[in-house]
């Protein structure tokens, strides 16, 4: 029996489907915010045959604490806490957790495993944090910023990743 390896195209289609599927959930379609964050993380990890991340309430509380601070200015500033961290901002109020994660995962196109670096002038650290092989837990939060300044989302990872000179997987 052979197993099919998910292709980048398959992953992209799946991420697009889940990012749009929750844009306006009805009561019967409601999916918890945790699941909306966690599912696309684990799809990206599955593509590399990495162990799935587990949702962690402590990390989610930390993420919510930090997101609540950012709701006043929506600034793309890291918390500088003890965990790995991805942050997202989008204008408007309709951004979903899965869309934020899909944005981070889209950086895969800029990551070169063999040189362990991003393409010149591009970011790929959000992606490498998601697929950091030793990371086991994630917790995230989403807030609407005051004054219609958009949506701020953050995910925290433990153990953290993105150590200089080390490959993510």
Q: What is the pLDDT of residue 35?
A: 97
Check residue 154 and give its pLDDT.
Answer: 98
Find out whether 45 and 137 touch, Cβ atoms under 8 Å: no
**Chain CA centroid to CA 59, Å:** 13
String of b and e for 18-39 (b: at least 16 CB within 10 Å)? bbeebeeeeeeeeeebbebbbb
Q: Which domains does the chain have, with CATH numbers?
A: 55-158 (3.40.33.10)
Residues (pLDDT < 50) of the chain are 1-30
The pLDDT value given to residue 29:
36
pLDDT at 26: 38
Q: CB neighbours of 33 closer than 8 A, spacing ≥ 6?
A: 97, 140, 142
Whole-number pLDDT of residue 25: 40
* Contacts for 25 with CB less than 8 Å, ≥ 6 apart: 31
pLDDT, residue 17, reads 39
Predicted model pTM: 0.82
Q: What is the pLDDT of residue 151?
A: 98
Q: Which residues contact 107 (CB under 8 A, 6 or more apart)?
A: 118, 122, 123, 124, 125, 126, 127
Which H, E and C letters describe 71-120, residue by residue? CCCCCCCCCCCCCEEEEEEECCCCCCHHHHHHHHHHHHHHEECCCCEECC
Spatial contact of 40 and 102, defined as CB atoms under 8 Å apart: yes
Q: What is the pLDDT of residue 31?
A: 60
Residue 23 pLDDT: 38
């Amino acid at each position: 029996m052979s197993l099919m390896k998910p292709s980048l195209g398959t992953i992209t289609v799946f991420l697009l489907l889940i990012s749009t599927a929750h844009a306006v959930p009805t009561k019967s379609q409601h999916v918890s915010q945790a699941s909306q964050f966690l599912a696309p993380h684990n799809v990206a990890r599955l593509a590399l045959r990495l162990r799935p991340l587990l949702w962690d309430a402590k990390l989610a509380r930390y993420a919510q604490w930090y997101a609540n601070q950012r709701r006043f200015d929506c600034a793309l500033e890291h918390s500088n806490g003890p965990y790995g961290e991805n942050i997202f901002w989008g204008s408007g109020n309709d951004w979903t957790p899965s869309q934020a994660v899909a944005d981070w995962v889209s950086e895969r196109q800029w990551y070169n495993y063999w040189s362990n670096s991003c393409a010149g002038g591009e970011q790929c650290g959000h992606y490498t944090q998601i697929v950091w092989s030793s990371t086991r837990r994630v917790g995230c939060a989403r807030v609407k910023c005051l004054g219609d300044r958009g949506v701020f989302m953050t995910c925290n990872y433990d153990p953290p990743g993105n150590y200089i000179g080390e490959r993510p997987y």
